[in-house]
């Protein structure tokens, strides 16, 4: 297996497309694959599965779509502007397809699942449409396209987890990696298309998860992120491989099993759901120093009335109870969130409750959006998108301003502290600087130091910060509690 992987970035549903490249052996059949991914971390992890399936068919990957035989866009349907970016990108690929008629263009992922055959009808340059549960069929679908036919498979599955497929690690630093522990979602949030595009929730065999994590560690990886739409609802029932006994594994138990692989393997996870995160999970994080003190816990709104319309199945008071539990059990835990401005019927009072929730929690960072109605969702069927765009923009601006202020305040607490950092590579702005994240997921930038290499843990003294980044230098002293 190729020992490279996708750069592990912070959860962000609005990530730009990235071409995924394997810099591995070139003794292949000469066919080249170009994959461009949009959206959440799950999509990027899925692209690694796709690359693995086609790698076994003799493909190599390329970062230049103009030299590819097959071009795939792994799509996101979470917001309208994400879909528009995909359509714009497809039109750019159209020019290349006119130059090279043999080029195969395919749409993968959530947008493929949502629009299905409409893609083949509306976007004439698209040859193949494949949903998130049908990637095993890609070799056959490509053969069908090569015989002169359009091809589509968007069937959802109640069993598919791709547990037996070892992902090709794309665009990698060889240090951090994603591990999908489950697929799909059973939470029918009224604004969300994920249950319709990714299907029902199913958990992956813990034995395969542990084997993948151990293999990564044995090959030099130092950090893994366990991925799921709702990791806290992970539950697997089956046979213990060693004792031939029936076992049941929940997320807290899985988290501990991965942590016990090695104290030098750092563990992150995403995403948690406020209705499901338990004290058992929190105590597990507190127990193991290699499980990072960081939880992404989307609130979406601070108003119980809006949360009810969103079908989030918790109240403002419940969410605050979970925040209080995190602060009590893991005092130095960083918390991030997703927040939607301008959901259907949102009043100024509802908006103010969201702002007051931000004050109460003090999020380290947040991903903020104005409400975007998605066809087929419960909200689109039941509620009018009745908040004017200008009002959405004003409320979103207020949320952004508050979060920028809070993020700066939270980062300032690290100034004057020494912390253990996993060096992930050189900084984007200067190859004279290294970067890595602390236990709370804050990015730290520091001058490259002789003898320090990517993949090593170093102690960094932080002497200043911006609103988004900590700045410091490597020191010999031990880290302090922060």
Count of alpha carbons within 13 angstroms of residue 410, beta-carbon side:
25
- Same domain? 304 vs 340: yes
The rounded distance, in Å, linking the Cα atoms of 19 and 210 is 28
Q: Assess if residue 41 is contained within a domain.
A: yes
CA distance 119 to 114: 10
Residues 134 and 56 in one domain: yes
Specify if 168 maps to a domain: no
pLDDT digit string (tens) for 158-177?
999 999 998 888 766 789 99
**H/E element, 52:** helix 41-55
Beta-carbon-side half-sphere exposure of residue 12 (alpha carbons within 13 Å) = 11
Quote the pTM value.
0.88
pLDDT of 238 reads 87
**pLDDT grade for 8, boundaries at 50, 70 and 90:** very low
Quick one: what percent of the chain has pLDDT higher than 70? 91
Confidence of residue 241 (pLDDT cuts 50, 70, 90): low
Going along 156-234, which residue ranges are E strands?
Answer: 176-180, 182-183, 202-203, 223-227
7 located within any domain: no
Considering the domain boundaries, does residue 163 fall inside one?
Answer: no
Q: The domain spanning residue 432 has which CATH number?
A: 2.40.50.140
Tell me: do 425 and 378 sit in the same domain: no
Angle between helices 138-146 and 41-55 (to 10 degrees): 70
Q: Who contacts 331 (Cβ-Cβ below 8 Å, separation ≥6)?
A: none
CB 74 within 8 A of CB 108: yes
237 and 327 in a single domain? The answer is no
- Judge whether residue 4 has pLDDT over 60: no
Whether residue 41 is found in the same domain as residue 143: yes
Verify that 376 and 333 share a domain, yes or no: yes
Q: Above 90 in pLDDT, residue 16?
A: no
In terms of domains, do 142 and 216 share one?
Answer: no
Residues 285 and 298 in one domain: no
Please give the tally of structural domains in the chain: 4
Helix (H) / strand (E) element for 255: namely: helix 251-259
Range of the domain at 452: 418-475
Selection from 360, 300, 288, 297 nearest residue 330 by Cα: 288
Whether the per-residue pLDDT at 64 is higher than 70: the answer is yes
Q: How many angstroms separate the CA atoms of 133 and 155, rounded?
A: 7
For residue 75, give the CATH number of its domain.
3.40.50.2300
Identify the three-state secondary structure at position 305. Answer: helix
Q: Looking at the structure, do residues 431 and 384 belong to the same domain, yes or no?
A: no
Residues 74 and 97 in one domain: yes
224 falls within a domain: yes
Same domain, 281 and 348: no
Residue 9 lies in a domain: no
CA nearest to 226, candidates 280, 183, 173: 183
CATH at 299: 3.30.750.200
Please indicate, yes or no, whether residues 384 and 351 belong to a single structural domain of this protein. yes
Whether residue 482 lies inside any domain: the answer is: no
pLDDT (0 to 100) of residue 172: 66
Give pLDDT tens digits for 282-317. 999 999 999 999 999 999 999 999 999 999 999 999
Secondary structure in 3-state letters for 81-142: HHHHHHHHHHHHHHHHHHHCCCCEEEEEEHHHHHHCCHHHHHCCCCCEEECCCCHHHHHHHH
Tens-digit pLDDT profile for residues 398-453: 999 999 999 999 999 999 999 999 999 999 889 899 999 999 999 999 999 888 99
Range with the poorest average pLDDT among 248-257, 301-310, 469-478: 469-478
Q: What is the mean pLDDT of the chain?
A: 90
């Amino acid at each position: 297996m190729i020992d490279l992987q996708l750069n592990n970035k912070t959860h962000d549903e609005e990530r730009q497309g990235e071409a995924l490249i394997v810099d591995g052996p070139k003794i292949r059949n000469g066919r080249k694959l170009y994959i461009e991914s949009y959206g959440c971390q799950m999509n990027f992890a899925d692209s690694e599965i796709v690359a693995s399936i086609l790698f076994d068919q003799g493909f190599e990957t390329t970062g230049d779509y103009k030299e590819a035989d097959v071009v795939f866009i792994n799509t996101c349907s979470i917001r309208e502007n994400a879909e528009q970016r995909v359509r714009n990108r497809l039109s750019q690929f159209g020019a290349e397809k006119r130059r090279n008629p043999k080029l195969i263009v395919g749409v993968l992922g959530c947008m493929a699942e949502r629009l299905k055959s409409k893609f083949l009808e509306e976007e004439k340059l698209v040859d193949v449409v494949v949903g998130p549960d049908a990637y095993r069929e890609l070799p056959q679908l490509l053969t069908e396209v090569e015989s002169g036919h359009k091809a589509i498979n968007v069937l959802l599955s109640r069993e598919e987890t791709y547990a037996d497929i070892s992902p090709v690690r794309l665009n990698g630093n060889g240090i951090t990696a994603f591990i999908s522990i489950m697929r799909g979602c059973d939470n029918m949030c009224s604004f969300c298309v994920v249950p319709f595009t990714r299907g029902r929730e199913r958990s992956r065999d813990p034995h395969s998860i542990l084997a993948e994590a151990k293999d990564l560690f044995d090959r030099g990886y130092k950090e893994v992120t366990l991925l799921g739409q709702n990791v806290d609802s992970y539950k697997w029932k089956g046979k213990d491989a060693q004792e031939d006994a029936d076992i049941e594994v929940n997320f807290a138990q899985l988290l501990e099993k991965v942590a016990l692989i090695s104290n030098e393997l750092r563990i992150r996870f995403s995403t948690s759901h406020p209705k499901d995160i338990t004290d058992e999970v929190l105590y597990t994080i507190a127990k193991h120093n290699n499980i990072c003190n960081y939880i992404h816990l989307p609130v979406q709104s601070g108003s119980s009335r809006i949360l009810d319309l969103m079908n989030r199945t918790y109240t403002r008071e419940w969410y605050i109870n979970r925040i209080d539990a995190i602060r009590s059990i893991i005092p130095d835990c960083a918390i991030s969130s997703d927040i939607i401005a301008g959901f259907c019927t949102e009043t100024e009072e509802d908006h103010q409750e969201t702002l007051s929730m931000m004050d109460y929690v003090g999020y380290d960072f947040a991903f903020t959006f104005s409400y975007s109605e998605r066809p087929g969702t419960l909200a689109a069927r039941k509620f009018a998108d009745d908040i004017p765009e200008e009002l959405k923009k004003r409320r979103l601006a207020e949320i952004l301003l508050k979060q920028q202020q809070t993020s700066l305040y939270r980062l300032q607490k690290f100034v004057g502290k020494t912390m253990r950092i996993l060096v992930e590579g050189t900084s984007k702005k200067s190859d004279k600087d290294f970067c890595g994240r602390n236990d709370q997921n804050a990015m730290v930038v520091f001058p490259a130091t002789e003898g320090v290499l990517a993949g090593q843990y170093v102690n960094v003294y932080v002497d200043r910060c911006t609103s988004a980044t900590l700045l410091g230098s490597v020191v010999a002293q031990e880290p302090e509690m922060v």
